Amino acid sequence: MDTIASSEKTTARHCPPNRAQDGIAAALRTFPTRNPDNLIPILQKVQSLDGYISPEATKKIAAHLRISKSRIFGVASFYSQFRFNPPGRHSVRICLGSACHVQGSDFLLNALQLDIGIEPGQTMENGRFDLDRVACLGCCALAPVMMVDKDIHSRISVIKLKQVLDEYQ
Amino acid sequence: MTDTIKTQAKTLTATIDSREVLMTEGMTILRAATDAGIYIPSLCHLDCLPDYGGCRLCMVKVENMRGFPTACTTPIAQGMQISTRTDELQQLRREILELLLSEHPYTCLVCRDKKECTEFMHSTRKVGTITGCNFCPNNGTCELQHLVDYLELSEIRFPIVYRNIPPVKDNPFYELDYNLCILCGRCVRICNEERYSEVLAFINRGNAALVGTAFDETQKEAGCEFCGACIDVCPTGSLSEKMGKWVGQPDSSKDTHCSFCGIGCRMTVNTKGKRIVNVGPEPESRHNPHQLCMRGKFIPGDMLHHPDRVTRPHINRQGKWLEVSWDQALDVIAENLKKCSGDQFGLIGSAHDSIENSFVLQKFTRQTMRSANVDLSPATPYPELIRDIHDYYASSGHVTINDILTADSIHVLGAMTQWSHAIIENRIRKAYKAGKQVLVAASIPTRTVEFSTDYQRYGKGCEHIHLHRLTSELAKEKGGERILMIVGDEIINSDRARDNINNLLHLATRSNNRVRLLFLLAEGNRYGATLAGMNPVLLPGFAAARKKGLDTAKMLGRPKAISAIHLIGDLPVGPAIKKLKFFVQHNMFFTPASKFADVFLPLATTWESGGHLVNLEGSLLPLSAMVPGEDQLMTPAGAVNGIAMHMGRKVLFAGSASNPDRQLIPLVEQTLTRGRKRQTGATESPEPRSRSKNGRLTGKTLQKHHFHYLGNSLPDLVPDLAKVLEE
């Protein structure tokens, strides 16, 4: 039962239903057409609705503002706040700040990449995790630090890393 | 652009490198220096784009000015003292260039063996990707190589960062290798600010920054129109044509005019020996490249050096091609044509041919063969079309392409300018971006709609209804607004072309020149060829023929209407062709129609022979011979002259085929400038008559009319082109 429920959940998050797409259309209507000045607010709005900037949403924005998809992507990819793949069920953020770096967080990141098979900025194919690196989580005394969803995991080692990830399915 | 600088501007004096220089107010230092012949290095500046100031290499020292301003963005002022090449500047520039080159494979730039390498090519060539000079398509014409020489840079202190980005080769016409990119932004700017294709953009940030498309789409998916403008401006080898990549560096460049569509764009063709290397700016002059479209930029080389090109005359012996000499071929033709002179004979020429050829061809038909059946293929459904257009231009002045930019409102009627006349499309987009009113009406929405303030769609074959409504609305208006109507295929090549054109001409005349018309002729020289007399009802100079001949449609429509055809180029196979007694095809390639030909002659195109053409604006443009071509090729004029001689008739011209009549070109010029005063059209009722078939114009028409050269289908010859056009 559990697996079925979770797979339904996956599809829901992976392919936003028509409702969300309609949401984008409705959101776009609140911005004037052909005015590229509103591009960043629009992108923020789309990301808050879908969780990411999808090619389909980009196409809609392009049609609304009458600018090309490439230009939209160029702007969006400049800012780290925008992501281009659907978020996973759990988001893993690994800190690469100075304190964590000194404690070997880049080894952790490598181990994590090998373990779940994705690079920072990507989402696992089964939608379980998405991975990102952050500069500091504000608890340098606990370095190296990893954050999964809203939980902070401190003093991570390669072995502890696997145990932590097993808690999130 | 020079024309943007007003002539009334004040003249200033300044000193550049202790030379007194005169210049006009508003000029930038870079512009003034270039005009005075002083070189200032720059990697991002382009004359045709707004000033950018990105690469910082054009820094100069100006007395009493803080820091080092960039020459491309600093306007010149009275009494400025500018130095462009001090030790301090050179050192700064060297440092900038070093940083730029830290991500560009630079072995070719600072190699100790550079001189010997260019001369003796002694180094081994073993790697597939460009890590040094060996495989760079720009080796020898690279702007970075020039800069390194200018700045005497001999060492780069930074470690090499090879980004290892896989080169993109899925593109039909050009390759992208972003490992060579220095992010100068020229391609992005020309794509967005000059061509408005908006395909290329800077993506990502910092070290990961790249020129690319959204979500790693291919260029085609991103809406690339393959105009090739980005290749023309790239200072490195990261964008390169596939066509000329392995030919080597060009050894000469010539200017000519493109004859694919009616615009007749200026183009520069770089050649090496007998081969076209590429069409693009002359090496080392990338500052103001001619803007072209896919056909002009990529097709000439592919077409002329096509492996299937026929280079010898052939005779058809029971279905098998026998290679013969020109004398033998001409003998066979002369013998057979003697039996078919008079109305039995028809000649079908091509609207891509030069005026000279067209003139001789019609002379051959009318004088030697005593027939009036001479026409172009594909024929316009209305033979007097060009004369009416000419009369209109003669009475109300020529309409030029740049009038699109000055008109207040632009109507685009039934045209697919994005593919058919890309430069017109470019002007329409510019006008739209400048805030002009652009109204598009067509049966198929094209990308032009994105650049329009209003779009009206009419049903296929219903263009006359829209036109009628539009003209009656405009006739009522009494505003002072200047309107330019761009009249496209769906109007000109419709079955009701005569009504449509008369309707429009009537409106233009009544509006007292407030409404002006620009007719988009599909082929390079339809205007010129008709002016030279390639028309069943019009003699050279648009004089009405006393004896009216059959047009192409009638020649081919009724089997046995005529018994012999001399064809330049290609035609779709119809029953009439199969029933001919004698059929000569003079073409570049064997085509389906060749199966029914008795003699096949190898054609020398205008790219190989030169000539003149008249573009859709009605201006006379010279075509120069680009490459000598194979020995056995002959121009249509040369061939028919040979036929006349072999028939024992009077020769049509003596001397070279590129200048058959010394009087011809002056006559054409005179006709174009004199302008006969004749009341234009408007005699027929503009009421639509309901007799035409519906749905004539589809995507197929686009290919038929615009993607052919001398009747040969370009997508068939260049499979990559077919891929691009699949939509």
Same structural domain, A113 and A51:
no
Structure tokens at B595: 């199966």
Same structural domain, A91 and A140:
yes
CB contact under 8 A, B223 and A68: yes
Helix H or strand E segment including B14: strand B11-16
- Residue A40: inside a domain: yes
Same structural domain, A27 and A93:
no
Cis ω for the linkage preceding B378 (within 30 of 0)? yes
Question: What chain A residue is nearest to B448 in terms of C-alpha separation?
Answer: A66
CB contact under 8 A, A68 and B199: yes
- Residue A105: inside a domain: yes
| pLDDT recorded at residue B115 | 66
Say how many domains are in chain A: 2
- Site from A68, A72, A119 to mutate, B interface, most B CB atoms within 10 angstroms: A68
| pLDDT recorded at residue B705 | 63
As a dihedral over the C-alpha atoms of residue A79, residue A81, residue A84, residue A85, rounded to 10 degrees, the angle is 160
- Residue A11: inside a domain: no
Q: At what angle do helices A55-65 and A18-29 cross, to 10 degrees?
A: 20
A71 touching B (Cβ < 8 Å):
yes
Neighbours of B659 (CB within 10 A): 14
Residue B441 three-state SS: strand
| pLDDT recorded at residue A10 | 37
CB pairs under 8 A between A and B: 50
Same structural domain, A126 and A66:
no
A74: which chain B residues are within 8 Å (Cβ-Cβ)? 201-203, 214
Min Cα distance A73 → chain B (Å) is: 5
| pLDDT recorded at residue B486 | 93
Burial B41-69, CB ≥16 within 10 A → b, else e: bbbbbbebbebbbbbbbbbbbbeeeeebb
Dihedrals φ, ψ of A16, to 5°? -55, 135
CA distance A44 to B103: 33
Same structural domain, A66 and A91:
no
pLDDT-flagged residues of chain B (< 50):
1-6, 123-130, 676-700
Q: B1 to each of B46, B62, B408, how far by Cα in Å?
A: 10, 24, 22
**Domain-ending residue, one of A50, A78, A106:** A78
| pLDDT recorded at residue B726 | 66
Same structural domain, A91 and A135:
yes
CB contact under 8 A, B214 and A78: no
Residue B724 three-state SS: helix
**A123-168 pLDDT per residue, tens:** 898 989 999 888 899 999 998 999 998 899 999 999 999 899 999 8
| pLDDT recorded at residue B113 | 66
Per the DSSP assignment, residues forming a β-bridge with B549 are none
Same structural domain, A72 and A51:
yes
CB contact under 8 A, A69 and B212: no
Neighbours of B657 (CB within 10 A): 23
Which CATH number is A121's domain given?
A: 3.40.30.10
Min Cα distance B202 → chain A (Å) is: 5
Helix H or strand E segment including B704: helix B699-706
CA distance B432 to B408: 10
Same structural domain, A59 and A101:
no
Q: Which residues, including other chains, have CB under 8 Å from residue A45's CB and lie 6 or more apart? A: A27
Helix H or strand E segment including B31: helix B29-35
The CA R_g of chain B, rounded to the nearest whole Å, is 28
CB contact under 8 A, B200 and A70: yes
Question: What chain A residue is nearest to B200 in terms of C-alpha separation?
Answer: A70
**Domain-ending residue, one of A54, A78, A102:** A78
CA distance B23 to B3: 15
* pTM for the whole structure: 0.85
Min Cα distance A34 → chain B (Å) is: 10
**Helices and strands per DSSP (H, E), number in chain B:** 26, 27
A37-44 own/partner pairs: CB under 8 Å, 24+ apart: A38/A65, A39/A65, A39/A67, A39/A72, A39/A75, A40/A75, A40/A79, A43/A72, A43/A75, A43/A76, A43/A82, A44/A81
**Domain-ending residue, one of A35, A61, A78:** A78
Interface list for A 121-160 with B (CB within 8 A): none
Same structural domain, A109 and A73:
no
- Site from B202, B440, B447 to mutate, A interface, most A CB atoms within 10 angstroms: B202
Residue B464 corresponds to which amino acid?
H
CA distance B725 to B727: 6
Q: In chain B, which residues touch A (CB < 8 A)?
A: 192, 197-205, 212-215, 217, 222-223, 450
Dihedrals φ, ψ of B257, to 5°? -120, 145
Cβ contact B214:A43 at 8 Å: no
CA distance A94 to A121: 12
CA distance B273 to B592: 32
A47 touching B (Cβ < 8 Å):
no
CB contact under 8 A, A73 and B201: yes
Q: Is the pLDDT of residue A2 over 70?
A: no
CB contact under 8 A, A68 and B198: yes
Q: B206 to each of A135, B183, B209, how far by Cα in Å?
A: 16, 11, 5
Q: Which of B201, B204, B205 sits opposite A70 (nearest CB)?
A: B201
Question: What chain B residue is nearest to A59 in terms of C-alpha separation?
Answer: B214
Cβ contact B334:B643 at 8 Å: yes
CB contact under 8 A, B214 and A66: no
Which CATH number is A58's domain given?
A: 1.10.10
Dihedrals φ, ψ of B164, to 5°? 55, 45
- Residue A39: inside a domain: yes
CB contact under 8 A, B222 and A68: yes
Residue B355 corresponds to which amino acid?
I
- Site from B188, B196, B198 to mutate, A interface, most A CB atoms within 10 angstroms: B198
**A4-54 pLDDT per residue, tens:** 333 333 333 444 444 455 788 899 999 988 888 999 999 999 999 988 999
CA distance B706 to B262: 10
A121: which chain B residues are within 8 Å (Cβ-Cβ)? none
- Residue A10: inside a domain: no
Same structural domain, A66 and A108:
no
| pLDDT recorded at residue B8 | 58
Same structural domain, A92 and A148:
yes
- Residue A110: inside a domain: yes
Question: Quick check: ipTM above 0.85?
Answer: no
- Residue A29: inside a domain: yes
Print the domain residue range for A25: 17-78
Q: B200 to each of B37, B174, B197, B212, B388, how far by Cα in Å?
A: 33, 14, 8, 5, 43
Same structural domain, A120 and A69:
no
CB contact under 8 A, B222 and A70: yes
A34: which chain B residues are within 8 Å (Cβ-Cβ)? none
CA distance A156 to B128: 44
